Amino acid sequence: MSFLKNLILNGKIPYFRIIRRIVLFLWVLPVLSYIFLDIGFLKYGELGWKLLITVMLIRPLSDVIPDIKIFKALVPLRKEVGILSGVLIAIHSYGYFAIKNKNIFIEIFNSQYWNFNGIFSWGIIGFIAVIILLITSNNLSIHLLKNSWKKIQQLAYVLFFASAIHITLVNKNEMIKVIIPVSIVMILWIMAKFRITIPKRKPENAEKTE
């Protein structure tokens, strides 16, 4: 019990540095499975989307529910999970064209796919965002790009919303499955922006006078 309390409430994750190292290289597994196993491109997109939602949730959760410190402890892991999610999404996008013997890097310029009522344009926007995010998710890029690096990272929002629209259009009957997580993320973003916490924080001055 005290282990769980330490983990969830105090955010003490054992072997966290080792866990980060392991997660950093997990992206190799989907690459290998894509090359050697016949799983199909869809599963990669589904898992990539779930991990993307997780990455988008962690930061606002740590701000909005500060007493549950595991969220704050997990904030640094967003980079590693983000890379895994990005690789999965890239494989999904690449894989769709590969089964048709087409190259995604050529097809993104094909006007046939650029119809915003269809699934492809939103998918391609997500793919372009994910490729830029993956290329710049290393220390060398942070060093070279300096202040622009943070701006480029904002592409994560483009990826998130373009993916949400893509998936909604793919499966209009089950759009609730997209609307619920996207709404939760947005509500938490707004709460974090306005510094609303759960439980409500007392104003700092009130704490001092007690």
Q: Does 45 bind ligand HEM (CB under 6 A)?
A: yes
In sign, the C-alpha dihedral spanning 29, 34, 35, 39 is: positive
Binding mask 25-44 for ligand HEM (x = CB under 6 A): -----------------x--
Binding mask 95-134 for ligand HEM (x = CB under 6 A): -x-------x--------------xx--xx-xx-------
CA nearest neighbour of 97 among 41, 53, 135, 165: 41
Calpha distance 160→48 (Å, rounded): 11
Calpha distance 49→58 (Å, rounded): 15
DSSP state letter for 118: S
- Could you give the C-alpha distances from 104 to 152, 156, 201, in angstroms and in order? 22, 20, 49
In single-letter form, the type of residue at position 82 comes to G
From 30-38, 145-153, 164-172, 186-194, span contacting ligand HEM (CB under 6 A): 164-172
Q: Does 91 bind ligand HEM (CB under 6 A)?
A: no
Q: Does 82 bind ligand HEM (CB under 6 A)?
A: no
Binding mask 176-205 for ligand HEM (x = CB under 6 A): ------------------------------
From 28-36, 64-72, 147-155, 168-176, span contacting ligand HEM (CB under 6 A): 168-176
Calpha distance 114→135 (Å, rounded): 24
Centroid of chain to Cα 95: 20
Q: What residues make contact with ligand HEM under the rule CB under 6 A?
A: 42, 45-46, 48-49, 52, 89, 92-93, 96, 104, 119-120, 123-124, 126-127, 163, 166-167, 170-171, 174
